[in-house]
Structure 1
Amino acid sequence: MAGRIARLRLAEERRLWRMDHPHGFVAKPETAPDGSVNLMVWHCFIPGKPASDWEGGYYPMTIHFSENYPFMPPKCKFPQGFFHPNVYPSGKVCLQSLFNQGHGWSPTITVKEILIAIPYLLDWPSPNYKAQTDSYNMYIQDNAEYRRRVRQQAEQYPAFF
């Protein structure tokens, strides 16, 4: 039953996303070689915010939903080694709204809201959720070097359109 609820909710979110989504963002369910769609895994691209060190980058992120979605949060993941204080070396995003229910997550949060929150997380890392020691220390102790590394990463993920 739970998996059915998750798939119905994700199908509706996909429909709404296709009708209205933020400019420059991409989010679509995974498509298998046979053409079938896997609503439980979405491939996304997040544009860097204009006038920020992240500008010009188009950052790939995957969202993995469990059978218990929307009652449990999805797991968002950038590529392994993504440079950011709130992203684990594995790429997993550490964002308060993605924590278990009662600790930030609510079943009313949508894919669109998650994706809109990511550029803000990129620009303003949370010192409360240190996921990556090197980038966290650089952000706190040598902000100029941190910003240089962010701009370097933006060049690593250019827009493809």
Structure 2
Amino acid sequence: MASGGIARGRLAEERKSWRKNHPHVRGFVAKPETLPDGSVNLMVWRCIIPGKPGTDWEGGYYPLTMQFDDNYPTTAPSCRFPAGFFHINVYDSGAVCLSILGGAWKPSITVKQVLVGIQELLDDPNPNSSAQHRCYELYKKDMPEYRNKVREQAKRYPSRM
């Protein structure tokens, strides 16, 4: 089987597993992209990550795109929020900076584990791996303003897809 076939086979299994056993927290969504002709593109998933209850992220349902290449699961998917997303570990482009999406990636990591890991990262950022200088500065020097910006962003993403 060609590597692209291996990737698609694994993603078909991930989709099946997600349907049976997605995170029990209300609001998580992960589904392959539907093309205009009605076919499914397993290589691009449209996801929603809910803000964790009891945090400044609560109430937001954050859109994320997971893009897989033909080498998946040997290589991690790329994960992107919308451009300009406010978070220390998200580049201005929306790309997520998370260890399990880079050097700590293992082929056994599932879509579910990636999404739950990103949800954890929202409220528990890694300031030692800053991707946005303005977020980092607020986080370190003006936590009330940082938290205010997070709550404002949650209001911009009020519902699921």
TM-score, with length taken from structure 2: 0.96
How far apart in 1 are the matches of 2:129 and 2:4? 30
The RMSD of aligned alpha carbons is 0.9
Matched length: 158
Matched residue type, 1:146: Y
Determine what percentage of the aligned residue pairs are the same residue.
61
Deviations 1:72-109 (A, max 9, x none): 0000000000000000000000000000xxx2000000
Q: What is aligned with 2:77?
A: 74
Q: What is aligned with 1:10?
A: 11
How far apart in 2 are the matches of 1:64 and 1:86? 18
How far apart in 1 are the matches of 2:29 and 2:109? 18
Moved over 3 A (4+): none
Long gaps (5+) in structure 2: none
Q: What is aligned with 1:37?
A: 40
TM-score, with length taken from structure 1: 0.96
How far apart in 1 are the matches of 2:106 and 2:69? 15
1:160 Cα offset (Å): 4.0
How far apart in 1 are the matches of 2:160 and 2:68? 26
1:53 Cα offset (Å): 0.1
